[in-house]
Amino acid sequence: MTDEKHHTGHWLAVGLLAIAIGGLCWWGYPTLKQAPAILAQFPAVQKSLEGINAQLAETESRFKDWSSNQQQLQERVAQVEKTMASRIRAVRKQAQDLSDQVYQRVHAEVAAQNQVTEAKIARLESSSEADRANVEKLQTELANLREQTAGQLQAVHAEMDRAGANRDQQLVSLNEQVGRESRDVEGLNKKLAVKRVDFEVTRNHGQQLTGEVSLSVTGTDVSHRRVTGWMWVMPDRRTIWLRGQSAQEPVVFYGTQDGKRRELVITNVAKNSVSGYLILPADGSSNLSASKGD
């Protein structure tokens, strides 16, 4: 691009020089008419004119070349414009074709997606109808189940009320029995002139009940009201083992000196403790012997 600008400026200067020379020739044309006579008289001037003619011829040739180059340049520019226009048309056509293809493909994809969506909607509507039918059926079954449950609950409440009444009667009977037994024991104590020592012993612990008897509990069975452990009797240094000893069943042992009866009775069995009482003679001797489970 820089070379073309340089050549253009050069040829422009040559053109201006040619115009100046032409003007000079026009201005000196009257004088030039007399030039042959003058030149004949002056050979040096003739040589100068020949040099000027040669320069003019060279300038004219260069001007023609410049004009030819300008024409070629214009033809090239026209050819380039023609080529660019052809390419632009081709690109536009290609873009239009591509746009048509993209539109057709997108349209086809959208149509396919719409078909899939419509099919899903149809399935959902069908399943919704089936779900409504299932819900109505479940509601009917639930109503029936509630009625049945209400009836069963009433029956259970009635049975619980009857069972509660029976338990209350059993508890009353048991309390009466315990009261009778307690009264019997108290009466027996009075008859035998004995003294009673109440106790409560924690499981896995030992307790001194009197100066003669200590009790240790190693296990409890609340459901069967049984106790496992042992008694230590002094001064005999004897052990009385309690293996599955039932509540309200007395453990009887006698004194070695006076031969009088002693009893240990478990009245209550809890998870972590047992309670009961120990019956001793009012004037009990310290000499004891075991009558159960050495």
166 within a domain of the structure (yes/no): no
Q: Residue 294 has what pLDDT?
A: 42
Token output for 69: 């180059």
254 within a domain of the structure (yes/no): yes
118 within a domain of the structure (yes/no): no
Q: Residue 266 has what pLDDT?
A: 95
199 within a domain of the structure (yes/no): yes
30 within a domain of the structure (yes/no): no
Q: How far apart are CA 221 and CA 268, in angstroms?
A: 11
Number of C-beta neighbours around residue 34 at 10 A: 9
39 within a domain of the structure (yes/no): no
205 within a domain of the structure (yes/no): yes
Q: Residue 73 has what pLDDT?
A: 82
Specify the residue for token string 């056509």.
93
CA-to-CA dists, residue 205 to 31, 193, 230, 235, 266, angstroms:
162, 31, 11, 21, 16
Q: Residue 263 has what pLDDT?
A: 94
Q: Residue 291 has what pLDDT?
A: 45
Q: Residue 272 has what pLDDT?
A: 93
Token output for 195: 């003294």
| CB contact set of 230 (below 8 Å; sequence gap of 6+) | 215, 216, 218, 239, 240, 241, 242
- Domain region containing 208: 194-290
What are 229-285's pLDDT values in tens digits?
Answer: 999 988 878 899 999 999 999 999 887 777 788 899 999 999 999 999 999 887 654
Q: What dihedral do alpha carbons 39, 42, 46, 52 form, nearest 10°?
A: -100
Containing H/E element for 238?
strand 238-246
Residues of the chain short of pLDDT 50, as ranges, are: 285-294
214 within a domain of the structure (yes/no): yes
Q: Is the pTM of this model over 0.85?
A: no
Say how many domains are in the chain: 1
